[in-house]
A and B are shown apart, each in its own frame.
Chain A
Amino acid sequence: MGKKIARDILILLGLALLVISNVRKYMEQISNTRNESNGWWGAHHSPEGDLVQMGYLDYVTKFHSLIDYKFVKPAWNGPKHVALYAQGDSYIWKVPDTAYAGITSYKFAWRFQHDLAYTLDTSKRNVLLIEMAERYVRGYFNATGIFNEVYDSAKKAQGLAANIPVRSNVKLAGILPDGISKDDIFNPNINQNLEYNIFNYNFLNPVRSYKALMTYCLFHRASGQVAIADNDDYLLLATTLLPAHGNSSYERIGDKYIGQYVQTLNTIYDHYKADGFDEVYISIIPNPATIVQPKGYNNMIPRIEQSPNLKMKVVSVYDAYRNATNIVYRRGDTHWNNNGLQIWLQKVNEMLAAENHKASR
C-alpha cells in the first residue's frame, strides 16, 4: 500500500514538474519569487558576474568582478531637443536617463521582454537607438521582427502594423485556451526550466560549486555554457567561441550574408524614418571574445558598420574598445565594466550632442 501511494505521489510530482516547467506564466511567477530569495529555496545568484553564476565558479575567485558602474550626469549647457527612444538589452537597461546628455525624454524597452510602443512628439527631434550585443545580431537581423517590438502605439492599435512578420510564439487559435500558447506545451526551454526547478537551490550550491572547482582545477575548463579565454583572464560565453555558431565571433560569414544584414538594417531604417523618427542609430556591443581574443575574428562589426551601403547611422565602440588601454569587460561576466560603459556613454552623448545641434539649426 505504501509503495503504491509513493508511486502515485511520484507520478503527480513528475507531471506537476513537467507542467510547471512548460508553462511560461508559472515559471515567471516562480523565478520572480525565488530569484529574490536568499533562503535555502532561493535560486543561485552570484554578484561576481553572470558567467561566474552560470558556471557555478563561486570558489574560483580570479574571475570574480563586481558591478562597478558609475553614472555621472553629463555636463550640458545647450537647449534640449532630443527625445531618445532605445531598444536594447541587459547592457543598457540599468542606464538611467540622467546619464544621457541633452534629452527631453527617454523611453527604453528591453528586447524580447517588452515592446517599445511610441507616440512621437513632432516638436522634438526623435531619435531611435537600437543597441544590441554582437552575439544576437545575426539571429535578430535575419528578419525584420523588430517591427513587432518597436512600433507606433496608435498605428498598432489601428492594426496598421498587420502586414509585418509575426512572432514565432504563435497561439494555436481555437485549440488552446486563452493565455496558453504552443510553447507552453512544447516549451523549447523546458530543460533549463526543469534544471531550475529541480536543482537550482541555494542549499545545493556547494555541491555544484565544488564540481565546477574540480573541473576547473583538473581540466582547466568551465562547464556548460562558460569557457575560459585563451589568456586565462576572462570567462567567456562558450557559444561566442565556437567555430560554427550564430553567436560566435569566429564563424566565417560570407559577404553575401553581411550584405543581407545591411539590407535588413536599411529596411528597418526606412521603416522608422517613414514612421516619423528623425534619425535611427544602431550600436553593436562587441562580444567580449571579439575584443579579448581578436585572432580569428570574423570582423562582423566593422564589416557591417563600414559598409558603404548602410543607411542606418552607427554609434560604434568597436575601435575604441580595441584600442582601450584599460580592460572594458568584467572578468566573469558577459557585460562591460565601468570603463566599457563610459566609452559607450561618451559615444552616445556625442551622438546626442550632434542631434541637438541639428535640431537647433
Chain B
Amino acid sequence: MLFNSLQFLVFFLVVTLWFFRIKSQKGRIWLLLLASCYFYMAFIPVYVIILGGTIVIDYIAGIQIAKKRGKSRKVWLIASIIANVGILAFFKYFNFFISNINDSFKLLHTGRDIPLLHIILPIGLSFHTFQAMSYTIEVYRGKQPPEHNFVTYALYVMFYPQLVAGPIERPQNVLPQLHEYRPYNWDNVKEGLARMLWGFFKKVVIADRLAMAVDYVFGRYEHASALALFIGAVLYSFQIYCDFSGYSDIGIGAARVMNIKLMENFNQPYIARNITGFWACWHISLSTWFRDYVYIPLGGNRKGEARRKRNIFITFLLSGLWHGANWTFIAWGALHGTLVTFFHGRAKDTKGEKSRFHRPKVLLFVVANFLLVTLFWIFFRAENVHKALSYIGGIFSLKQGSNRIGLNATELIFSLVLIVAMMWRENRRPGHFIRSNKLFGWYVTAIVAVCYFFGVFSENQFIYFQF
C-alpha cells in the first residue's frame, strides 16, 4: 500500500479512528498489528510469512539472549543475525551474486551459465531486517530488556508507518511507547496531520513532478545535451529528497497522530557544507544504524587513523550495498566513503555553519557539496555503471544534443519555485505544530488544495520502497 494512494488514506482514517475508539492498550496493539499485516500484504500477501518467520526467530532470540549466560548469548545473537542477513542475502543479493559469476564464466569462455531464481524482493526487506537486528543487538548489549509480549514485539517490527521505508527505529525509542496507553491528544493529531500533509506535498507536488523530467532525461540520456543532463541530475537530487523525506514525513506524522514519536530521518541535508555534514542529515536512521552496529564494532576511530579510514570506507561500501544489488550502489557507496574518509573530523561545526549558509564562503561550500552529492546520485539513479559514466561524461564533455527535459519552461520554473519554497520553509520553520485551530484549518485547506490542483497523480512508488 503506497502512502500516496487513496487506499492508504481510507485505511489510515479507519485505523486511526478505530485506534482511539479502543480503551485498552492491548486492544490497540492488536489493532495496529492486524492493520500493519494488511498494509504489508497489500503489496505481495505471501511475503508476510517471511516477515513473520524473522519476527518469531528474533523474538525467541531476544528472550534467550537475556536469559542465557556466557557463550550461549552470543550463539543466539549470531543465529538471529544469520537468519536476518540470510533472508536479506537470499532475496536481495542471490541473483546479483549469480549473475556476476555468470559474467565471469563468460569472460573465461567456460560456456557455463547458472540459472537465476525468479524471486521478487519483499518490499521494505532491508528496512525491517535492520530494525529487527537492532533489537537483538541491543538486547545482547544489555541496553534493552527483551520484549516478552509477542504481539508487542511483532508490532515493533511491523508498525505500518515505518514498516517499508523506515525510519529504521531502535527498540529503546519505540517499545516503551507501545506499552504505554496514551489518550487522544488533539495537539499530537494536529502536528501529525500537518506533518503528513507536508509529506504529501513534497511527494505528489514536487517529487512526482520532478520525476517526469528525471525519467525523461535519464531515459534519453544518449540524445540529451550537457545542459539537459545537468538539469536532470540536479532535479533528481531534489526528487529523491522530496520523495524519501516526504515518505518519512508521512510515516512520522501518521505515527504522531497515534501519539507515537518516531525518530527524525532528515535535517536539511542539501544545505550541509561538506559531505560529513550531508551524512549527518541524510537518512539519519540508517547512518546511525551503520555507525552503531558496523562502524563502532569495527573499531571506529579507536585504533588509529588508518583503521578509522578503513572502517569508514567499509561502512559506506556496505551502506551502498544495502541500497541495492547493483554495482551502481556499490560505486555510490565507495564514492561517498572515499569523500567522508577525507572530510571526517574536519567539519566540526556543521550545524552552526548551516544556520549561516547565506555567507558567501559557506554558500560556496554548500553549493559545491550539493553538486558533488548530485554527481554521486547519478550512480544511484542509473541502471548500470556504464550508463552512469556515460551520463557524467556527457555533462563534462559539454555534449551537444536535445535540451528537452520533459517539462516546459513554465513547469520547470514552477518546479524551481516549489523547491525554493520547500527549502525555505524547512529552514525557517522546521516544526509542524500549529497552535491555533483556525490557522491549522487554513493550513490543511491550503495544502490539500495545492496537492489536488498541482499534484501529479500517477501512483508513483516511493523510490526507497525498492530497498
A contacts, CB < 8 Å to B: 7-8, 10-11, 14-15, 17-18, 21, 182, 186, 190-191, 194-195, 198, 211, 214, 218-221, 223-225, 238, 242-244
Question: Closest residue to A214 on the B side, CB-wise?
Answer: B453
Check A14–B10 contact: CB distance below 8 A.
yes
Which residue of B6, B45, B407, B414 contacts A195 across the interface (Cβ within 8 Å)?
Answer: B6
- Report the bound CA distance from A244 to B45 in whole Å: 27
Question: Closest residue to B43 on the A side, CB-wise?
Answer: A186
Which B residues are in CB contact (< 8 Å) with A211?
A: 452-453
- Report the bound CA distance from A10 to B16 in whole Å: 11
Check B7–A191 contact: CB distance below 8 A.
yes
Chain B contact residues, majority secondary structure: helix
Interface positions, chain B 389-417, Cβ under 8 Å from A, are 407-408, 410-411, 414
* B219 in the interface (beta carbon within 8 A): yes
What is the CB-to-nearest-CB distance from B456 to chain A, in angstroms, rounded to a whole number?
A: 7
Given A14-B10, A14-B13, A191-B5: A7 touches B21 (CB 8 Å cut-off)? yes
Check A221–B18 contact: CB distance below 8 A.
no
Which 5 interchain pairs have the tightest Cβ spacing? Answer: A243-B219, A14-B14, A194-B6, A219-B411, A191-B5
Which A residues are in CB contact (< 8 Å) with B5?
A: 191
What 0/1 readout, one digit per residue, does chain B (1-44) give for beta carbons within 8 Å of chain A? 00001110011011001101100000000000000000001100
Which residue of A21, A223, A225, A242 contacts B219 across the interface (Cβ within 8 Å)?
Answer: A242
Most chain A beta-carbon neighbours within 10 Å: one of B10, B41, B452, B453: B10
Which A residues are in CB contact (< 8 Å) with B407?
A: 219
Given A186-B42, A195-B6: A223 touches B453 (CB 8 Å cut-off)? no
- Report the bound CA distance from A195 to B5 in whole Å: 9
Check B458–A225 contact: CB distance below 8 A.
yes
* B459 in the interface (beta carbon within 8 A): yes
Check B7–A223 contact: CB distance below 8 A.
no
Question: Closest residue to B221 on the A side, CB-wise?
Answer: A243
Given A14-B14, A18-B10: A244 touches B408 (CB 8 Å cut-off)? no
* B220 in the interface (beta carbon within 8 A): yes
* B343 in the interface (beta carbon within 8 A): no
Q: 19 A-B residue contacts at CB 8 Å?
A: A10-B17, A14-B10, A15-B14, A17-B10, A18-B11, A190-B7, A191-B459, A194-B6, A194-B10, A198-B6, A214-B453, A218-B410, A218-B411, A219-B410, A220-B410, A221-B411, A223-B457, A223-B458, A242-B215
Check A244–B219 contact: CB distance below 8 A.
yes
Check A11–B18 contact: CB distance below 8 A.
yes
Which residue of A8, A223, A225 contacts B21 across the interface (Cβ within 8 Å)?
Answer: A8
Most chain B beta-carbon neighbours within 10 Å: one of A8, A219, A244: A219
- Report the bound CA distance from A11 to B31 in whole Å: 13
Which B residues are in CB contact (< 8 Å) with A8?
A: 21
Check A218–B6 contact: CB distance below 8 A.
no
- Report the bound CA distance from A214 to B453 in whole Å: 8
Which A residues are in CB contact (< 8 Å) with B457?
A: 223-224
What is the CB-to-nearest-CB distance from B186 to chain A, in angstroms, rounded to a whole number?
A: 12
- Report the bound CA distance from A250 to B118 in whole Å: 26
What is the CB-to-nearest-CB distance from B11 to chain A, in angstroms, rounded to a whole number?
A: 7
Which residue of B17, B219, B411 contacts A11 across the interface (Cβ within 8 Å)?
Answer: B17
What is the CB-to-nearest-CB distance from B102 to chain A, in angstroms, rounded to a whole number?
A: 16
- Report the bound CA distance from A221 to B41 in whole Å: 35
- Report the bound CA distance from A10 to B41 in whole Å: 24
What is the CB-to-nearest-CB distance from A27 to chain B, in angstroms, rounded to a whole number?
A: 14
Question: Closest residue to A243 on the B side, CB-wise?
Answer: B219
Interface positions, chain B 92-128, Cβ under 8 Å from A, are none
Check A10–B20 contact: CB distance below 8 A.
no
Check A220–B408 contact: CB distance below 8 A.
yes
Which B residues are in CB contact (< 8 Å) with A218?
A: 410-411, 414
Most chain A beta-carbon neighbours within 10 Å: one of B6, B408, B414, B457: B6
Which B residues are in CB contact (< 8 Å) with A191?
A: 5-7, 459
Which B residues are in CB contact (< 8 Å) with A214?
A: 453
- Report the bound CA distance from A10 to B9 in whole Å: 13
Which A residues are in CB contact (< 8 Å) with B21?
A: 7-8, 11
- Report the bound CA distance from A182 to B41 in whole Å: 11
What is the CB-to-nearest-CB distance from A227 to chain B, in angstroms, rounded to a whole number?
A: 10
What 0/1 readout, one digit per residue, does chain B (33-61) give for beta carbons within 8 Å of chain A? 00000000110010000000000000000
Question: Closest residue to A225 on the B side, CB-wise?
Answer: B458
Which B residues are in CB contact (< 8 Å) with A198?
A: 6
Question: Closest residue to B415 on the A side, CB-wise?
Answer: A219
- Report the bound CA distance from A351 to B458 in whole Å: 41
- Report the bound CA distance from A2 to B14 in whole Å: 18
Which A residues are in CB contact (< 8 Å) with B20?
A: 7
- Report the bound CA distance from A94 to B11 in whole Å: 40
Which B residues are in CB contact (< 8 Å) with A219?
A: 407-408, 410-411, 414
Which residue of B42, B45, B220, B458 contacts A224 across the interface (Cβ within 8 Å)?
Answer: B458
What is the CB-to-nearest-CB distance from B44 to chain A, in angstroms, rounded to a whole number?
A: 9
Most chain A beta-carbon neighbours within 10 Å: one of B14, B20, B21, B45: B14
- Report the bound CA distance from A8 to B6 in whole Å: 20
Question: Closest residue to A230 on the B side, CB-wise?
Answer: B404
- Report the bound CA distance from A138 to B45 in whole Å: 26
What is the CB-to-nearest-CB distance from A274 to chain B, in angstroms, rounded to a whole number?
A: 30
Check B14–A223 contact: CB distance below 8 A.
no
- Report the bound CA distance from A7 to B408 in whole Å: 45
What is the CB-to-nearest-CB distance from B407 to chain A, in angstroms, rounded to a whole number?
A: 7
- Report the bound CA distance from A186 to B458 in whole Å: 19
What is the CB-to-nearest-CB distance from A340 to chain B, in angstroms, rounded to a whole number?
A: 28
Which B residues are in CB contact (< 8 Å) with A195?
A: 6
